[in-house]
Amino acid sequence: MHLYPRHLIILAEIALILLCASMLFNIAPDTAHAVTTTKTTTAKATAVQKPAPPAPVVAKTAFEVSGWIPYWRTATGTADVLPHLSQMTEVNPFGYTVKQDGSLFDAMKVADPAWQNLFTQAKAKKVRIIPTVMWSDTNAIHTVLSNPTLRAAHEDAIVAMVNQNNFDGVDIDYEGKLASDRDNYSAFLKELYAKMGKKWVTCTTEARTPPDSLYATIPSTLEYANDYKAIAKYCDRVKLMTYDQESADLKLNKASTGLYTPIADPSWVTKVVNLASKDIPKSKIEIGVATYGYIYQVMPQSDGTYDYSLLEAFNPTYATDLAKSLGITPSRNAAGELSFSYVPTSLSQNGLPTQAQLSAAAPAGTPSSLLAAAGASALATTQNKQSPFYLLWWSDSKAIADKVALAKKLGVRGVAVFKMDGGEDQTMWSVLK
């Protein structure tokens, strides 16, 4: 969990940002009001008899910005956010994990002076401090949430953690749940919501691609791990993980021409929000916004399509530095994000076509960012020769600005940024408002 690869994204981070996409196919196809630091709802009784109705939508609602700071980048993450606290509504230390017995592990080391300094300054600016509790152990989630005694003890541990540290609430990010545990998860949220009193409960939730976009043939029986109606009742904010789209939307894949493996196409995000908002008030929804990218090995096919193999995640500076060294200018792609293709020496040393050879095979006028891809595609379609290349695809400040604008257009409460650790495109801060 704590081994750093050469691009500053550790394996734990890669596993995390891949998880919501893998949920779409492996477990279940799912599978967060004011700027003040306390809820505006009234205090809840120990047993929730009837949930308070959602706050009415007013003519003008404050746009909210929240963001996760990963525990494995404490120093750079807190230093990144501190100068920009005035732009934030909420900070989410990605700080706690769950042991198999349901007890909490303080991965962030909450007593670290860097965290304590951030908390002090955030409180002074009335920025909510809501740490995330992350859990992705499918079997352990089932064991604890399906047992009322273990579930209650888990809830109590969360409440104690929030109160002992004077946090404003908790963000629940439980991924990899079984569809059969949907009711157990809903019961957990209901009970936790009651125990938290005036403290906030926010829920980070997997993006749900509409079935007619996710499947070529919609299954006759479709089960989800998340009950959106229950989430709407017991979560004060719902942070949709609208990133790691990749190949999830078959309709958009088919409509695209050329390379297409988005972090998050605004068209897909719109579909996800429209579906979720049928059950969850938009006044509670925040759309997730990514600040990272992926490297793929791509194999062009004779029919003009491409096969993508994800290799690793990276921070934007890696891509921009590499492109500069190769004399390549990244280009804006179909999803409004940045990308470029190239042939690394590790491939050409194996007797495969080099960057220069693929560039020569590309049609005249091809931009530098697509020379390798166009040349490889030409060889595949005209000579049935497969020539792999690398594709770097990432979310930069322009893509982030587009998501902010989209959130406002859709009328949701705001955006939730994953991640803020100093590795993102720093011009993001000029558009994050």
Per-residue pLDDT of the chain (433 residues; tens, 9 = 90+): 333 333 334 334 444 444 433 433 333 446 432 333 344 433 333 334 434 444 443 335 799 999 999 999 999 999 999 999 999 999 999 999 999 999 999 999 999 999 999 999 999 999 999 999 999 999 999 999 999 999 999 999 999 999 999 999 999 999 999 999 999 999 999 999 999 999 999 999 999 999 999 999 999 999 999 999 999 999 999 999 999 999 999 999 999 989 999 999 999 999 999 999 999 999 999 999 999 999 999 999 999 999 999 999 999 999 999 999 999 999 999 999 999 999 999 898 888 999 999 999 999 999 999 999 999 999 999 999 989 999 999 999 999 999 999 999 999 999 999 999 999 999 999 999 8
**Residue 392: exposure state from Cβ atoms within 10 A (0-12, 13-18, ≥19):** buried
Spatial CB neighbours of 394, under 8 Å, sequence gap ≥ 6: 263, 292, 293, 294, 314, 316, 319, 337, 338, 339
Question: Which residues neighbour 305 within 8 Å (Cβ) at sequence distance 6 or greater?
Answer: none
Cα gap 208→273, rounded to integer Å:
9
Provide the CA 67 distance to its chain's centre, in angstroms.
10
Q: Please tell me the pTM assigned to this model.
A: 0.87
The CB density around residue 182, as the number of other CB atoms within 10 Å, is 19
Distances (CA, A) of 285 to 24, 108, 242, 335, 395: 20, 26, 11, 22, 21
d(CA 339, CA 378): 19
pLDDT attached to residue 273: 98
The domains located in the chain, with CATH, are 11-291+396-430 (3.20.20.80), 295-394 (no CATH)
Q: What are phi and psi of 164, to 5 degrees?
A: -65, -30
pLDDT at site 56: 40
Element (H, E) at 230: helix 228-234
Q: What is the DSSP letter of 283?
A: G
